[in-house]
Structure 1
Amino acid sequence: MAPAVLIVGAGPTGLILALILLRNSVSVRIINKEFNHRIGSRGVGIQARTLELYDILDILPGIRKEGEPVKKEGQLNFMAIYKPGETEPVKLVPANWVQAPPDTPHANGLILSQETHERVLREYLQQLVTTVELATELRSFEQFPDHVVAHLIKTDVDGKQHEERTEFSWLIGTDGAHSIVRKQLKFPFLGETRPEQNMAVGDIVIEGLDNRLLHMWEVPPNLLVLRWNHSSSQLFSYAYTGRADEKTLTREEFIEEFHALTGRRDLTFGEAAWMSSYRPNIRMVDRMRDGRVFIAGDAAHCHSPAGAQGLNSSIQDAANLGWKLALVEKSLSPTTLLDTYDEERLRVIAQMLQLTTKLHDKTWANGTFARFQRPSELSMLGVNYAGSSIVLEAAGAGGAESDAYTTAEGGRVQAAYRAPDAPGLVRVGPADAPTRLFDIFCASAHSVLVFGGDAAEYASVADVLARLPKGSTQLVVLLPHGAMSGGNSEVSTGAMVLEDRAGHAYRGYGLDADELTIVVVRPDGVVGAVISAADSVETYFRKIFV
């Protein structure tokens, strides 16, 4: 029997989507037309919001092991700026490391080459007994009311091609900016290309440079930036704007251009691991779904790398779609739930394009690298789904017309925004085991957090959840510090009972222990509802389940 979902493209978007679906017991086949896994650093910045998702998915340890913080604690400088011919920088740009608050444990981003990033994700996929099928290309597909037929071409080691027509319940294109899925759907890719802003990009070993800093030379209109990949290596990624065409530089040509721009011959060049060219494409679709076929990631939007939003936005596409598709595939939710993928993500992507284009334009302003403060929005912690039809928002909330890239105001948790973490919790029971909310949140279930209230109110919420599909929700009762000295006889059976011993949950969520507040957290870590009565819990879940 064929898997339920065919994922076309095995970059981070497709890999994360596969992981989420498999964690939700939905079978997946993921293919890549290339004969080998891609090399090169490409997208390297992993933002705070993505790290939070990885934490909830329990894949953060492998990512952290391979990556490095963008800005390290105690690090004085982040970038060195040089004049041509000089070996000492004329300016050192200070690092902007921030102390992570309890509700945001991953406030500082991570640097990780995309090549390594994808390898780590494939390793987690293998733990779920799934691998990427290489040398397998989607040529076309046909949609039917209850399935999709994919026409695939598989190429063996001898170069012989084998045709295959296989039926799937769903097809998802995560196959990049040149997506065959998007093209066959005939979705317009709206926007612009800027060929006059071509740049050379790649990875090359350079001995003699500090591998804990970015290095920059600027001789208008040309700019060269070198970024470290890892402090254990002398491999640097480069971006060089002094190219008038799309021809990829050879290693020797890059070294020649480097010498001409920097005037430095004191450095030793090693292997060039990957070299390419890049020109800005600023484009997005006006929809991401047609029936049983979806697109996500670069297949749906591409933009300047300024701000390191592309890869992260793509992964958030997968997070948004994954849990919804799983519920529909298991017949727990109506197919109309899938309409909210477009509804929620397009608003965010449109603003992300505005943000990254503005940053890109500042970088290219008058042919110089503008010195500007990078906005805090780049962490993506404020990305929200305000105005979504499946979010139960308080009266007076901003709605869809509000900023999609801003944090909630008022110091209180809000529907449509990220659910904060809270460490210092203790699971009430014989062992009093310590935990935190990010360890409780689940990629395969809604977490219903109950603050304040009494045993009767806990029981009312539990009764509502008992009528929902088994395993689709988990009830978590958060008691203020000192509320229980032992046992949990006052709490309804089936609830996970946590004591907020450090006080971070009530403070971080801005809630009062004397008032009942119910916070519903979706499987993607987004707050679906902030409500004050059990019947409102039922109102929220009527938006989700059949």
Structure 2
Amino acid sequence: MELNDVKETGVLIVGAGPSGLALACDLARRGVRALVVEQAPSLFPGSRGKGIQPRTREVLDDLGVGDAVREHGGPAPVGMTWKDGERQGAYDMFRRAAPTEAEPYGEPWTMPQWRTQEILFDRLRELGGDVLFSAAFTGLSQDDDGVTARLTTGEVRASYLVAADGGRSTVRRTLSIAMEGETVDPSPTLVADVRIEEAALDRLNWHIFLDEAGMLTLCPLPGTPDFQLVAQVKEGSPDTTPEGVRALVAARTHLSADDVTEVRWSSDFRPRAALADRFREGRVFLAGDAAHVHSPAGGQGLNTSVQDAYNLGWKLGQVLLHGAPDALLETYDQERRPVAAEMLGLSTRIHRGEQERGTATQQLGLGYREGPLASGRAGLLEAGDRAPDGSAGGSGRLFGAFQGPHFTLLAVSTDVALPTHDGALVRILRTEAAEAYGKGLFLVRPDGYIGWAGEDTSGLAEYAARLGLDLDFA
């Protein structure tokens, strides 16, 4: 893609990582003009954020990539501990639950980050979008009508800009937004994607080696012949060369250096937890690692990042296309920053062994009850809760009815008169079978959370107007 193709756009997204691509897909399906720019010449090549939590799988289903995620990913393997070249026994570090009527996914899914990005990129192109590679962000200026971004390839004018350019975000630094945090572990960590002789190590387990040098793990990456290597390095800095990676594996496992037939990607980092002071500055928003940086323990970073995009996308769409007030965009920071802070604390506690992976890591219990867009309660649920799945009677599954960029007004076990408006923006559904809801009316946001709930329609029209919706009660 050439910059000459797009010099003006609705939303400029800086960074083609998981959050940037997810946001671009969400905007594209809404009909919002968006451009993704990426300073690298291609998508990120490593496995880094390989864990996909149940809530994020629901998001990816809604974005239209669920089948690809199922095809190329797999359940997180059960751990196997080793000592002196001998298996010591299985150790499952995850909570695994069977799917339920309300929660279709009950266990974490693994898929290398490069594959997640590849799937989202393919979906973006399918929706008519694209990425401009080798285009680094160098600066910006704002006014009342938009943002002018300076790139190494030229300038782009946009109504809004979203910084999805990682933990060292150039956009965030340009805006002088502080990012406070702490080093979770003073020891650096080496991460690499390696190929290992089939006869040397099976792919049925997540292999865990622990000695005085620290923990080393080898996790098979589904859909590939590779393993992700993660190793603590307590002394010195990790040697990320292929020779250094092979030597480390040979020194700290029963494998030989020759068993590692290929080192496909490697990196080193110091686990850190940090949170930006704010997620918005004028017409610029921070998303993903640009807004929050996690320890990899617990698998919360990529998931929180994708859900940032999922929260922001529909709000930008409502403001740009449907006349919603700018105040709606203020709710992005108000809703997402507390969630990011909560997930940062969780990741840090898991990293330090203060908490085990459990229900909280699945992110199904996250919500916005205390947020500015939560109004009312009905039946078993309160506004701000995640809208559960369930039977929609003859209409199939609720998640199937919710899928897409629209709102859904759901009437459960009630004959209350509803608005006659039933178009592309708000769909109306009656059902008698949604057990997780109880009785009442529920306005489900495009991101799958209940915005408004009540026993009748009192206050619904006023609430909807805040979101740029015009419900017709005639």
**TM-score band w.r.t. shorter chain:** over 0.9
Distance 2:48 2:185 in 1: 19
CA contact (8 A) 2:220 2:227 kept: yes
| Alignment of structure 1 residues 152-191 onto 2, 5 Å | 152-154=151-153, 164-191=154-181
Letter in 2 for 1:307: G
Distance 1:13 1:50 in 2: 12
Q: CA deviation at 1:93?
A: 1.8
CA contact (8 A) 1:54 1:60 kept: yes
Please say if 1:205 is aligned against 2:195.
yes
Per-residue CA deviations over 1:239-260 (Å, capped at 9, x if unaligned) read 1112434444222222222222
CA contact (8 A) 2:99 2:105 kept: yes
Question: Where in structure 2 are there 5+ consecutive unaligned residues?
Answer: 1-6, 470-474
Per-residue CA deviations over 1:84-130 (Å, capped at 9, x if unaligned) read 2x2x3112125754211111111222110011111111111111121
CA contact (8 A) 1:34 1:136 kept: yes
Letter in 1 for 2:271: P
1:390 is aligned, of 339, 360, 373, to: 373
Aligned residues: 460
Q: Which residue in the other structure is 2:100 paired with?
A: 101
Q: CA deviation at 1:237?
A: 0.5
Q: Which residue in the other structure is 2:42 paired with?
A: 36
Q: Which residue in the other structure is 2:394 paired with?
A: 426
Q: CA deviation at 1:393?
A: 3.1
Q: CA deviation at 1:3?
A: 1.7
Please say if 1:347 is aligned against 2:338.
yes
The 3-state SS of whatever aligns with 2:304 is helix
Q: Which residue in the other structure is 1:378 paired with?
A: 361
Please say if 1:193 is aligned against 2:183.
yes
1:335 is aligned, of 317, 326, 333, to: 326
1:219 is aligned, of 211, 236, 241, to: 211
Q: CA deviation at 1:331?
A: 4.4
Q: Which residue in the other structure is 2:273 paired with?
A: 282
Q: CA deviation at 1:414?
A: 2.4
Q: Which residue in the other structure is 1:92 paired with?
A: 90
Q: Which residue in the other structure is 2:128 paired with?
A: 129
Q: Which residue in the other structure is 1:488 paired with?
A: none
Distance 2:349 2:17 in 1: 26
CA contact (8 A) 1:248 1:276 kept: no
Please say if 1:309 is aligned against 2:300.
yes
Letter in 1 for 2:88: V
Distance 1:90 1:376 in 2: 27
After TM superposition, what 4+ stretches of structure 1 lie above 4 angstroms from structure 2? Answer: none
Q: Which residue in the other structure is 1:83 paired with?
A: 83
Distance 2:414 2:231 in 1: 60
The 3 A distance-change label for structure 1 pair 543 and 206 is same
CA contact (8 A) 2:20 2:164 kept: yes
CA contact (8 A) 2:246 2:257 kept: no
Letter in 1 for 2:204: R
The 3-state SS of whatever aligns with 2:136 is strand
1:519 is aligned, of 442, 446, 454, to: 442
The 3-state SS of whatever aligns with 1:136 is coil
Report the aligned-residue RMSD. 2.0
The 3 A distance-change label for structure 1 pair 418 and 533 is same
Quick check: which has more Rg, 1 or 2? 1
Distance 2:185 2:402 in 1: 45
2:427 is aligned, of 449, 454, 474, to: 474
Q: Which residue in the other structure is 1:139 paired with?
A: 138
1:540 is aligned, of 447, 450, 463, to: 463
The 3 A distance-change label for structure 1 pair 354 and 266 is closer
The 3-state SS of whatever aligns with 1:197 is coil
Q: Which residue in the other structure is 1:489 paired with?
A: none
Distance 1:5 1:233 in 2: 35
Q: CA deviation at 1:131?
A: 1.5
TM-score, length-scaled by structure 1:
0.81
TM-score, length-scaled by structure 2:
0.92
Per-residue CA deviations over 1:46-102 (Å, capped at 9, x if unaligned) read 00001111122222111111111225xxxxxx1111112x2x311212575421111
1:236 is aligned, of 217, 224, 227, to: 227
Q: CA deviation at 1:385?
A: 0.8
Distance 1:200 1:266 in 2: 16
Distance 2:256 2:344 in 1: 39
Q: Which residue in the other structure is 1:438 paired with?
A: 399
Per-residue CA deviations over 1:360-394 (Å, capped at 9, x if unaligned) read 1118xxxxxxxx74221100000111211111034
